[in-house]
Structure 1
Amino acid sequence: MEWCIRFKYQLDSEEGLAVQLIAQYLSQVEGTLYKAIRGNGLAYGVNIEINVDDQLLSFSIHQSAQLEQAYEEAKRVVLKELEHVDEIEFEAAKRSLVSVIVQSEDTVINAAHQAVFNEFRELPPQFWRKYSERIWNASMKEVVECSRNFILDLFDDRKCYRAIAVPHGKLKDIEKYFVGIEVVCSSDLHIKDTSITC
């Protein structure tokens, strides 16, 4: 199951950094959301992430036999965490995010790939170094204030797009829980042959 909203901010913006950092805080392994969902056996995985290239902020729950419960618990935890961010966990999220950035350039091949991506994204040569410094210096209060509404929009049916893949036996439960959801069978999602013949 995946929810997403449009997120047109670049990483170098205040909003981009704040949302990426709060997403890291909420999604980190052994964090509150992870423990509430995976730790309680509600789903195999849960995360919030930004896809800058597609301009999306997404929230996803992976491989859940109890999707409705997992969604409710995730929503409860996220709302609670946005009200009471744990400073130690927030600092851990900073370290984790900087580690991800450093690891993206840990080999010559990875550094070359990153350089190509940076070029396509029109990022300056020292972008990631400066971005990491901004992460280290980010204020917990400012990050939460700047990112709160974006995260909340992921749980607002009027503002987000949702895609759920479920076995046929769970379909009625999902339709009942997510009122108004449009159902499309996977067999209807094929790509039509558009080849041109001369």
Structure 2
Amino acid sequence: MTETPRAVAPAEPTGSAESAESVELVRCGWATSAPDYVAYHDEEWGRPVTGDDRVFERIALESFQSGLSWITILRKRENFRAAFARFSIPAVAAFGDEDVARLLGDAGIVRNRAKIEATIANARAALGVGLSDLVWKHADPDAPVPKTLADVPAQTAGSKALAKELKAHGFRFIGPTTAYALMQAIGLVNDHLADCWTRRA
């Protein structure tokens, strides 16, 4: 995910005389345009996410984000969780036409029929697959460390391979670019910039 320019925000005070003069944390450039982004960057983005339901949730949210700003999804995330049974794969796989109609009428989420139906189809595709293991096979811990946002790719050979494998299992609405955003988000690659504080945490 790439969005805005540079990032600096004050660190928590430590009580020392030096820290009383606002010590600054350097963050990835996209992460400072809104408090929602700061929290997501600091606490979640790029940190490992495992478990089939949790990985399924992130696939679903990345798919819903396609064509939209990620902050839109962040601000609706709890609504998505309520609407999609906390992203329980068996529960979403059992959704039928009444659920599609319910979701299309839910103003708290992104009401896009293609994305809703793809999420349900993806839950069915995930049944019995071992989704977390399948996705984590594509981890790339040796990916180059980006120095600027311009160094961060939109897709890679690894994301193309992940998208291809998911498609082979019946997943929809997740191409190489969405697959790479997923890889960044759940820690398959570490695309925090070289000077980002998280690399020293």
TM range (shorter): under 0.3
Q: TM-score, normalised by structure 1?
A: 0.25
Q: TM-score, normalised by structure 2?
A: 0.25
Larger radius of gyration: 1
